[in-house]
Amino acid sequence: MTKFIRPFILIIICFLHYDSDCRDTLEFRSPVDHDVRLTGNFMEIRTNHFHTGIDIKSSKGLVGDNIRSVADGFVSRIKVQSGSYGQALYIDHPNGQTSVYAHLNNYSPEIEDYIKNIQYKLETFAVDIYIPDSTLMVKKGQLIGAMGNTGRSFGPHLHFEIRETESEKPLNPELLGFGPSDSKAPILEKLYAYTLGVNNEILKTDIISLEKHGSKYVIHPPLNLNSGKVAFGIQAYDQMNGSYNKNGIYNIKMLVNGKSYYEWTADKYSFSESKKINGFIDYKKRITTGEKVYRLFEPYCSVLENVRTYEHGIVNFSENEAQNIEILATDIYQNIGRLEFEVKSENKTSKPKNNFYNCDTSFVLIKDNFKIEFPPKSLFDVEELKIKSGVSKIENQECNYVTIGSSQFAVSKYFKISMKIPDDYNSNWTFTTTDKRNRLLSFGADTINGRMYTLVDQLGKFYAFKDDEAPKLQVINLESNKKRPWKVKITDNVIPDGKASDLYYYASVNGAWICMLYDLKNDLLVFDDFDRLPKGPLTFELIVSDGQGNISSLRRHIKG
């Protein structure tokens, strides 16, 4: 089994990373019984957020592996959701740290009984319960649950975190000894060179292939770029022994003529910085191709705690000047992917763009019946925004729409879209957009001062849409044979997004509420707790409503 205590790493943590007292350092054990292999590492790039822990593979690709407490402590929180972490457990430890175990298939019997009683008392599957410190005590190595695939998970694994208990900031678990040994250096794929304008807006992007010579990467011949402001990005990933997954980089550093211009380290994270990931990466490249490019310069209006720069990471090239650039991508075990190249500048100019908006200030855009209100620092950079409106058909409905900028650019805060209330307005009205799969996403809608409005956190095309279609219910299994779980598939014509309300459901048997698990990614309601049902004939009832108040119901008589 992988050894989890590496004293030299613990010394680094105590004195460099977290300012913690070495006397309070716990000797953690693994949360699993099998050798640890990772499918995801700390602060790697995910959609609209950094990954806040490590993902540990199952032993055989199936659910059910034992999950154990990594140290003595008490269960401080249990959270159950249809998406996100699914079934999750939080354990506080005496050293001021909290371990988190997510996507669990089930809890240990004692914990399962505790949370199930609360769910039945509150008549809700989704709960977020904070527990008194002496209620559920656990010992190091105690069984606390089973590895699963609940919530937003697409294969059996354990999402595992270590957090500071007081601040709730996640720490890098690998710095605390959780994780396999690794001898593979990060892999560098492409260099990105960005020509910038007066306000650091991106005017031009050059993509340069890399060659590997021995232990380092090079560019031949020397790179020729415009004189003036230039910034760089690197497309890179890390791999670990025994795994082919493309993981994130622990540390990235850029030096110009030997001077550090940019450095980022994945040691600690704050949930308040989740949206900042879209300014940390080349968001346009991520949206259009899925490729992950680390920007080696700071956005104009957003700075990450983990980033240290000189001149914001931006290099000023004088005409006919040559500079030596070095980019280092390093993993926790100090395996290094190194790129060295020379840049020669030329006296060329890039055409400036129009319609730029200053991300430091609030501003309002108005187009026909639509009003768009951006708060300060809702954009990452000084951005070019164009707005247009019109009428378009969605699901055989003529809808007013507004297009704000491009979905290829990111925002860091919610902003408001509003329009004059339609003559036939009721609760069925909502603002929508479509995703890459052409699915209709709903942001919901409220009213104020004669206007219908919503809050969104993305740019693109938005429709004022009247949703009068009720959710669809499809029985998969409601047989009296209790060897198979009951399953009902629930779907809707629009998918809640942003701050919109999720589907609401209420299931009962003989008039008494039952706890049906909501498997959001598969659109399934599942029930297998048959011991809680009465003897004899049963009447199953299900009511489902969407965020616009459309309701569907189902009633089925089941033999006892």
pTM metric for this prediction: 0.90
Specify the pLDDT at position 221. 79
Contacts of 490 (CB under 8 A, 6+ apart): 471, 472, 473, 474, 503, 505, 523, 524, 525, 544
The yes-or-no answer to whether 187-345 and 472-558 have a common fold is yes
Q: What is the pLDDT of residue 355?
A: 63
Question: What does the pLDDT read at residue 82?
Answer: 94
**Given a cut of 60, is residue 16 above it in pLDDT?**
no
pLDDT at 181: 85
Distance CA 89, CA 309 (A): 37
> For 70-87, what is the mean pLDDT?
96
Q: What's residue 95's pLDDT?
A: 96
pLDDT at residue 11 above 60?
no
Report pLDDT for 244: 84
The region of weakest confidence among 280-294, 309-323, 348-362, 489-503 is: 348-362
The residue-averaged pLDDT of 63-83 equals 97
d(CA 313, CA 254): 8
Element (H, E) at 139: none
Q: What is the pLDDT of residue 3?
A: 39
pLDDT of residue 146: 98
CA pair distance 58, 40, nearest whole angstrom: 13
289 phi-psi bin (left φ>0, alpha ψ -120 to 50, beta other) = alpha
What gap in Å lies between CA 303 and CA 300, rounded to an integer? 8
Amino acid at 292: K
Supply the pLDDT for residue 483.
81
Q: What is the C-alpha to C-alpha distance for residues 547 and 442, in angstroms, rounded to an integer?
A: 9
- Measured from the Cβ of residue 525, the count of other Cβ atoms closer than 10 Å reads 23
Per-residue pLDDT at 14: 40
Eight-class DSSP state of 151: S
Q: Is the pLDDT of residue 15 over 60?
A: no
Q: What pLDDT was estimated at residue 233?
A: 98
Which CATH architecture does the domain made up of 472-558 adopt? Sandwich (2.60)
In whole angstroms, give the CA distance from residue 67 to residue 88: 12
pLDDT higher than threshold 60 for residue 290: yes
Q: What is the pLDDT of residue 350?
A: 60
The lowest-confidence range among 12-21, 63-72, 174-183, 222-231 is: 12-21
Q: d(Cα 175, Cα 235) in Å, to the nearest integer?
A: 24
Predicted confidence (pLDDT) at residue 6 exceeds the cutoff of 90: no
- Over the stretch 193-219, which tens digit does the pLDDT of each residue have? 999 988 888 889 999 999 998 879 999
Position 2 pLDDT exceeds 70: no
> Selecting from 2.70.70.10, 1.20.210.10, 3.40.50.720, 3.20.20.110, what CATH number does the domain 38-176 have?
2.70.70.10
Token pair of 437 as six digits: 């799969």
User: What is the CA angle 76-81-84, rounded to 5?
Assistant: 100
Q: What is the per-residue pLDDT for 499?
A: 84
The answer to whether the beta carbons of residues 383 and 360 sit under 8 Å apart is: no
Share of the chain above pLDDT 90, in %: 75
Question: Does pLDDT of 261 surpass 90?
Answer: yes
Which is more confidently placed, 447 or 215? Answer: 447
Question: What is the predicted pLDDT for the residue at 384?
Answer: 76
User: DSSP of 231-261, one letter per residue?
Assistant: EEEEEEEB--TT----B--SEEEEEETTEEE
What are the tens digits of pLDDT across the range 269-288?
A: 999 998 899 999 999 999 99
Instruction: Identify the DSSP state of 281.
Output: B
pLDDT classification of 349: cutoffs 50, 70, 90 = low
Q: Which fold has domain 187-345?
A: Immunoglobulin-like (2.60.40)
CA angle 41-285-337, nearest 5°? 45
Residue 113 and residue 121 in contact, taking contact as beta carbons nearer than 8 Å:
no
Is residue 479's pLDDT more than 80?
yes
pLDDT at 558: 92
**pLDDT tens digits along 402-433:** 999 999 899 999 999 999 999 888 889 999 99
pLDDT tops 50 at residue 395 = yes
Asked if pLDDT for residue 243 goes beyond 60, the answer is: yes
pLDDT average, residue stretch 182-197: 94
Q: Residue 5 pLDDT more than 60?
A: no
What confidence category does residue 24 fall into, taking pLDDT thresholds of 50, 70 and 90? low
**Percent of the chain residues topping a pLDDT of 70:** 94
From 114-123, 132-141, 300-309, 490-499, the region with the lowest mean pLDDT: 300-309
pLDDT band, very low/low/confident/very high, at 1 (cuts 50, 70, 90): very low
| pLDDT value of position 295 | 97
Mean pLDDT of the chain: 90
What band does 26 get if pLDDT is binned at 50, 70 and 90? Answer: confident
When comparing pLDDT for 355 and 415, which is higher?
415
Reduced to 3 states (helix: H, G, I; strand: E, B; else coil), residue 350 is coil
Distance set, CA 328 to CA 192, 204, 260, 340, 369 (Å): 15, 24, 11, 9, 51
Can you list the positions of beta strands (E) in 58-184? Answer: 66-68, 73-80, 87-92, 97-102, 106-107, 127-130, 137-138, 143-146, 157-164, 170-171
Residue 22 pLDDT exceeds 70: no
Rg of the chain over all Cα atoms, to the nearest angstrom: 26
Q: Which pLDDT belongs to residue 546?
A: 95
* CATH fold of 363-466: Chondroitinase Ac; Chain A, domain 3 (2.60.220)
- Amino acid 351: pLDDT: 62
What are the extents of the domains in the chain? 38-176, 187-345, 363-466, 472-558
